[in-house]
Amino acid sequence: MENVFDYEDIQLIPAKCVVNSRSECDTSVELGGRSFKLPVVPANMQTIIDEKIALYLAENNYFYVMHRFEPQTRLAFIKDMQGRGLYASISVGVKREEYAFIEQLAAENTVPEYITIDIAHGHSNAVIDMIEHIKKHIPASFVIAGNVGTPEAVRELENAGADATKVGIGPGKVCITKIKTGFGTGGWQLAALRWCAKAASKPIIADGGIRTHGDIAKSVRFGATMVMIGSLFAGHEESPGETSVIDGKQVKEYFGSASEFQKGEKKNVEGKKMFVEHKGSLADTLQEMEQDLQSSISYAGGTKLESIRNVDYVIVKNSIFNGDKVY
């Protein structure tokens, strides 16, 4: 691999502005036949999303992926969302009972519009078999498969029938995969995204490692259709993580899906827990993301998200923050 870099090593180069106001720039994106306000989706983790947040996001034209950690609630969740005239987007794993769940959905004719196969090491027969199982029983569902970190994996999952792939092994804020196993895209997630996107013939979701709103534009530049984000969405009033007070400050918990807090045991732990400062409302963050991305589009010299895809960039090794902390 040549040209290895991460988000903080890259600056996008401005092109001549064609709008009179940033409000003219359109941040919407299409995925699976629907248009969403932002190319951003909160991570399908238990401290990031719950039914209430999913409802808010769907009602307000944002993409969401419900987590898979309360499996018994998923059927009712799909019915509830669709009963309200909204789309349903759920996650599944690859264990035996998940196969039966897909068959149950088919038998009841309850077909979620989106299914994300949520596995740490997605380049595996387990994921390929699950893609094929879903496509056999409920072909109308749009299948997002992951996570992967190589072009070979993207091609193999696409060939198995995945409609989109999710890229990112270990760049997450509460991830310890890189430390515990020595593997992953941590530290070079943006370069891995670029590498995978060159091989992809379907949409890619960049997952993990986003630390600033500018990183969303950088992900789009390097081939992402959508960006999955955990830590920036943790700590909101609506966030499901528990609130506590540390050193007089209100904080909320954010833990990894492969942490002992999620698993309830210390087996194959590849995630940790942290506390993030209380951030106010989710709606405010989404609005700020939209404004920042509109500004990115204006700097790209266009009016639509796609204009970011063509901008030039420079590699400025680990230097852009000069020690500043924006967030």
Ligand X SMILES: Nc1nc2c(ncn2[C@@H]2O[C@H](COP(=O)(O)O)[C@@H](O)[C@H]2O)c(=O)[nH]1
113 binds, among ligand NDP, ligand X, none (CB under 5 to 8 A by kind): none
- 208 is known to lie in a ligand binding site: yes
H helix runs in the chain, sequence order: 51-59, 74-83, 96-107, 125-137, 151-160, 177-181, 189-199, 214-221, 260-263, 282-299
Picked from ligand NDP, ligand X, none, the partner binding residue 235 (CB below 5 to 8 A depending on kind) is none
CB of residue 176 vs ligand X: minimum separation in angstroms?
Answer: 6
Coil, helix or strand at residue 118: strand
Residue keyed to tokens 């998923």: 74
Question: Between 16 and 325, whose beta carbon lies closer to ligand X?
Answer: 325
Closest CA to 15 of 309, 229, 234, 241: 309
N-to-C CA span, the chain: 31
Residue number with the smallest Cβ distance to ligand X: 271
Binding residues for ligand X, total number by CB under 6 A: 24
The site partner of 122 among ligand NDP, ligand X, none (C-beta below 5 to 8 Å per kind) is: none
Answer yes or no: are the C-beta atoms of 94 and 119 closer than 8 Å.
yes
* Min CB(270)–ligand NDP separation in Å: 4
Whether cis (ω within 30° of 0) applies to the bond prior to 147 is yes
Choose, from 17, 25, 175, 196, the residue flagged as catalytic: 175
Given ligand X, ligand NDP, none, residue 210, with its beta carbon under 5 to 8 Å by kind, binds: ligand X
Q: Which among 26-34, 113-121, 241-249, 293-301 is the span making contact with ligand NDP, rule CB under 6 A?
A: 113-121
Q: How far is CA 60 from CA 63, 117, 118, in A?
A: 9, 24, 24
196 as an active site residue: the answer is no
Q: Using CB under 6 A, which of 119, 131, 220, 234 touches ligand NDP?
A: 119
Binding residues for NADP(+): 204-227
Kindly list the catalytic residues: 175
